[in-house]
Chain A
């Protein structure tokens, strides 16, 4: 229902747009009004990949061009109708998306963008070489409608509107399901998304396939409308740039962005081209270029988001004016309730001995090693983690603790050794596989999805277990509650304190219902009282049966928390044992404090 409701504005837009189109008699303006829709659809295709995943594509013309040439050549060589060719072009677009995505998703950031540029440009030369410099769709005299040829141009507008509605519906659907959430979490923090159990490569491939399909359809329709296809007009740089420009100008990551962008930029470009094109031939490109330059400097998120921010600010200002009565002024900073009443923390402190450690081995690390160049970051490390225990891994800075975690949850592949989770060897598998197998983790450098609320952040972690959206909501709510964050569940992650972020990361890992939690310096950077709060949560989890491995470089808070220590130094296990044994071990004291303290320790 909510889904249909979210489509209401678009139906209103379509109705109004078609109403306007009905009254336009001039052939040229009719064409333009159709082209606005084609570029809006193409912009939505770009948005599907680049807007949601944040991987900027400079090469969407590849898919557009494939669609256009499929239609043109299909009709010329096989006599097929565009009605048949349009779905074929869509399928080819999707296929091209996959073929491009599989190698190119190994790249990130600007390498991705530049590589994407290479595809359409290479194809441009190939199509020129094949002799398709200018391909004209043959006019059909008998049954022109069967070949999508209409004398009344308004029918094209209607068809384009129908396509736009379908594409908007797909986009909206993606936004509302785990598909969209996975893409947005990839955009905000790919590593965190992987660790939270999202198969990032699979989702990116799905995104580029859908994106390629839409672009293929847009290209096919473009060929039908213009009847002439040249390599430059469908594979050229300006084509890719146009997809990016309309989307970025209108707003990234929303269905409205490309529509707004196309509705504004295409008529401006076309009219200038028509008026001055004969003596100022490149005017369209200049306009698009200037539009991007201005938008990136003035409103990098695009017109849609900028307008929303302005409206929201104005509304807030009005609300403030209405509440000008000084007594009614809220004081937001101070009144924030702590999610941890001190009493509860104390109670947890006393209940320390309540958890039981079973004999069952959850995680078995066997002789794991990893070198970077000549440096042995992790050197033949072995240990076992039993169900229900808290294992502390300590060691000075640079001892290889985080690298060890990266080996355990799949960010890095060990050179040697084995990682066995519940009897299954999972060494070298990707993080999302380990998350599915029950290994959750948090990060030393926190990796929140900054623009999402606490609950949404946690929900991302739930998808590795959730069967559907409601189940994910339930898991997320439960995890938020376990971490004691219920009261701030609606706040944006970017507004949280360090402690709240640490707990949110914990909740995100919990939402995937792990059996084993890897906590990377969860206590770092916290004040004295705050450490107690977080420790209380960790204890409560253990009492409820969770198994935890925690990294710290200070022993203080750890001594009273953990059942067993593994002490690392220079990548190798220095010693293992109970807290009492380890704190008295001269080797540990030496590693931490240096030789000259040995005398003090021994005396």
Chain B
């Protein structure tokens, strides 16, 4: 096996890993895009909502006999989907109790202080969830492991039996679920009555109230959907990666990077944004030490936002 073939193989391997993890990141980003892109709510605690979803799925899997009934191949996925209604309710309640006090129609047009209240409030929620999670769940790593995560499909070998790419089955299935969920969400938003009212409320909240849409309820629903989508992505991630109560911090940056990259307000764009982050993360491992993988994402995030001057709402001049 030549030097070039080794290089090619590790590149293809990183590419494949990036595509698989990117699909999950994409789903995560779509969840945030529902909240940030469409409803203009800055949710700093999105990563911690995801962490909560991971733990809920973990306890459903281990604690409620799901593992016994469905076995360890199907069980994790059943647990992950059973977790969704809980996180939907959680998101709905958080919005109802807290977020609604600093959001809604009156803050949509505000640039400065309206958003700061959201940022700081959700930072508070994030701190409570992270540290509360540590109290409740402890800080040791857990995962919703499926045996599929330790086996792989082999693509190839190509080029004279030398180069082949391995696709981890657990990650592959997670990626397939991600794409399926996004297609379902797309249908929900574009084809149903609920989706129409969500889009209307996002597009022009004031006009929506005039045509009889309960905008506050639409926001709440969107918040809950966004929360559960991200939590679902977290659950899928947890079948391959162990997690802990502070896992949200790493992914909240991934999510914002993806949403910004995909273009604010575009749900499908957020998916591609997340995909790009996944690819960057995996491909960066070819040149940058493993331990700095997360630092790479932060730097990449900074590059994305800084290379677009004035931020994305920073339209100083057009509002004068």
* A411 contacts B42, C-beta separation under 8 Å: no
* B320 contacts A444, C-beta separation under 8 Å: yes
* B101 contacts A112, C-beta separation under 8 Å: no
Using an 8 Å CB-CB cutoff, how does the interface string of B273-310 with A read, 1 for contact, 0 for none?
Answer: 00000000000000001011011001101100110011
* B123 contacts A106, C-beta separation under 8 Å: no
* B299 contacts A122, C-beta separation under 8 Å: yes
Q: Which residues of chain A are near B116, meaning CB under 8 Å?
A: 54, 56, 109, 113
With beta carbons under 8 angstroms apart, the residue of B131, B139, B295, B312 that contacts A111 is B312
Whether A113 contacts B310 in the complex (CB less than 8 A), given A125-B294, A293-B128, comes out as no
Q: Which residues of chain A are near B317, meaning CB under 8 Å?
A: 191, 403, 406, 411-412
Min distance, Cβ B288 to any Cβ of chain A, angstroms: 10
The answer to whether B117 has its CB under 8 Å from any CB of chain A is yes
Whether A402 contacts B121 in the complex (CB less than 8 A), given A115-B302, A115-B306, comes out as no
The answer to whether A297 has its CB under 8 Å from any CB of chain B is yes
The answer to whether B316 has its CB under 8 Å from any CB of chain A is yes
**Interface positions of A from 107 to 124, Cβ below 8 Å from B:** 107-115, 117-119, 121-123
* A125 contacts B291, C-beta separation under 8 Å: yes
Q: Which residues of chain B are near A412, meaning CB under 8 Å?
A: 317
**Looking across the interface, which residue of chain B has its beta carbon closest to that of A284?**
B131
* A443 contacts B306, C-beta separation under 8 Å: no
Closest 4 CB pairs of A and B: A285-B131, A282-B131, A289-B127, A292-B124
**Interface positions of A from 62 to 118, Cβ below 8 Å from B:** 103-104, 106-115, 117-118
The answer to whether A520 has its CB under 8 Å from any CB of chain B is yes
The answer to whether A24 has its CB under 8 Å from any CB of chain B is no
**A520 to B319 CA separation, bound complex (whole angstroms):** 13
The answer to whether B245 has its CB under 8 Å from any CB of chain A is yes
B-binding segment of A31-39, A236-244, A477-485: A236-244
Min distance, Cβ B73 to any Cβ of chain A, angstroms: 35
**Secondary structure type dominating chain A contacts:** helix
A-binding segment of B2-10, B107-115, B147-155: B107-115
Q: Which residues of chain A are near B291, meaning CB under 8 Å?
A: 125, 128-129
* A109 contacts B115, C-beta separation under 8 Å: yes
* B123 contacts A281, C-beta separation under 8 Å: no
Using an 8 Å CB-CB cutoff, how does the interface string of A207-249 with B read, 1 for contact, 0 for none?
Answer: 0000000000000000000000000000001100100100010
With beta carbons under 8 angstroms apart, the residue of A108, A244, A248, A406 that contacts B311 is A108
* B305 contacts A114, C-beta separation under 8 Å: yes
* A282 contacts B313, C-beta separation under 8 Å: no
Q: Which residues of chain A are near B299, meaning CB under 8 Å?
A: 118, 122
**Interface positions of B from 24 to 56, Cβ below 8 Å from A:** 42, 44
Could you tell me which A residues sit within 8 Å of B by CB distance?
54, 56, 58, 103-104, 106-115, 117-119, 121-123, 125-126, 128-129, 187, 190-191, 194, 237-238, 241, 244, 248, 280-286, 288-293, 296-297, 300, 402-403, 405-406, 411-412, 443-445, 447, 520
Q: List 24 A-B contacts (CB under 8 A).
A: A109-B111, A109-B115, A109-B314, A110-B119, A111-B313, A115-B301, A118-B301, A119-B298, A121-B253, A125-B291, A128-B291, A237-B249, A282-B132, A282-B245, A286-B128, A286-B131, A286-B132, A288-B124, A289-B125, A292-B127, A297-B102, A297-B121, A445-B319, A445-B320
Q: Which one of B260, B295, B317 has the greatest number of beta carbons of chain A within 10 Å?
A: B317
**A300 to B117 CA separation, bound complex (whole angstroms):** 8
The answer to whether B272 has its CB under 8 Å from any CB of chain A is no
With beta carbons under 8 angstroms apart, the residue of B42, B113, B125 that contacts A54 is B113
With beta carbons under 8 angstroms apart, the residue of B113, B132, B292 that contacts A129 is B292
* B311 contacts A122, C-beta separation under 8 Å: no
Min distance, Cβ B282 to any Cβ of chain A, angstroms: 17
The answer to whether B267 has its CB under 8 Å from any CB of chain A is no
* A286 contacts B311, C-beta separation under 8 Å: no
Whether A283 contacts B305 in the complex (CB less than 8 A), given A106-B311, A110-B115, comes out as no
**Looking across the interface, which residue of chain A has its beta carbon closest to that of B111?**
A109
Q: Which residues of chain B are near A296, meaning CB under 8 Å?
A: 102, 117, 120-121, 124
* A281 contacts B124, C-beta separation under 8 Å: no
* B295 contacts A402, C-beta separation under 8 Å: no
Whether A111 contacts B311 in the complex (CB less than 8 A), given A281-B139, A443-B320, A444-B320, comes out as yes
Could you tell me which B residues sit within 8 Å of A by CB distance?
42, 44, 98, 101-102, 111-113, 115-121, 123-135, 139, 245-246, 249, 253, 256, 260, 289, 291-292, 294-295, 298-299, 301-302, 305-306, 309-314, 316-317, 319-320
Min distance, Cβ B111 to any Cβ of chain A, angstroms: 6
Whether A112 contacts B311 in the complex (CB less than 8 A), given A122-B295, A125-B292, A288-B127, comes out as yes
Q: Which residues of chain A are near B98, meaning CB under 8 Å?
A: 293, 297
Q: Which residues of chain B are near A405, meaning CB under 8 Å?
A: 320
Q: Which residues of chain B are near A117, meaning CB under 8 Å?
A: 253
**A129 to B291 CA separation, bound complex (whole angstroms):** 6
Min distance, Cβ A132 to any Cβ of chain B, angstroms: 12
**A190 to B132 CA separation, bound complex (whole angstroms):** 38
**Looking across the interface, which residue of chain B has its beta carbon closest to that of A442?**
B320
Q: Which residues of chain B are near A284, meaning CB under 8 Å?
A: 131
* B134 contacts A282, C-beta separation under 8 Å: yes
19 new A-B contacts, CB < 8 A, other than A108-B311, A118-B302, A296-B120, are A56-B116, A58-B44, A58-B119, A107-B305, A112-B311, A114-B253, A118-B298, A118-B301, A122-B295, A125-B291, A191-B317, A194-B316, A244-B120, A244-B123, A281-B135, A285-B127, A289-B129, A296-B102, A406-B320
With beta carbons under 8 angstroms apart, the residue of A103, A110, A290, A411 that contacts B128 is A290
Q: Which residues of chain B are near A280, meaning CB under 8 Å?
A: 135
Whether A241 contacts B127 in the complex (CB less than 8 A), given A103-B302, A108-B313, A402-B320, comes out as yes
Min distance, Cβ B128 to any Cβ of chain A, angstroms: 4
* A126 contacts B313, C-beta separation under 8 Å: no
**Looking across the interface, which residue of chain B has its beta carbon closest to that of A300?**
B117
Min distance, Cβ B60 to any Cβ of chain A, angstroms: 23
**Looking across the interface, which residue of chain B has its beta carbon closest to that of A121?**
B298
Min distance, Cβ A535 to any Cβ of chain B, angstroms: 22
**A333 to B124 CA separation, bound complex (whole angstroms):** 42
* A282 contacts B133, C-beta separation under 8 Å: yes
**A110 to B267 CA separation, bound complex (whole angstroms):** 19
**A173 to B249 CA separation, bound complex (whole angstroms):** 37
Whether A191 contacts B316 in the complex (CB less than 8 A), given A111-B311, A122-B295, comes out as yes
**Looking across the interface, which residue of chain A has its beta carbon closest to that of B129?**
A289
With beta carbons under 8 angstroms apart, the residue of B260, B294, B306 that contacts A106 is B306
* A109 contacts B112, C-beta separation under 8 Å: yes
Whether A190 contacts B316 in the complex (CB less than 8 A), given A237-B249, A238-B127, comes out as yes
* B135 contacts A282, C-beta separation under 8 Å: yes
**Looking across the interface, which residue of chain A has its beta carbon closest to that of B126?**
A289
**A330 to B237 CA separation, bound complex (whole angstroms):** 68
**Looking across the interface, which residue of chain A has its beta carbon closest to that of B118?**
A110
**A443 to B306 CA separation, bound complex (whole angstroms):** 29
Whether A281 contacts B134 in the complex (CB less than 8 A), given A56-B120, A290-B124, A293-B125, comes out as yes
Min distance, Cβ A64 to any Cβ of chain B, angstroms: 17
**A115 to B309 CA separation, bound complex (whole angstroms):** 13
**Looking across the interface, which residue of chain B has its beta carbon closest to that of A104?**
B306
**Looking across the interface, which residue of chain B has its beta carbon closest to that of A56?**
B116
* B310 contacts A293, C-beta separation under 8 Å: no
Min distance, Cβ A377 to any Cβ of chain B, angstroms: 10
Q: Which residues of chain A are near B260, meaning CB under 8 Å?
A: 111
* A107 contacts B306, C-beta separation under 8 Å: yes
Min distance, Cβ B298 to any Cβ of chain A, angstroms: 4
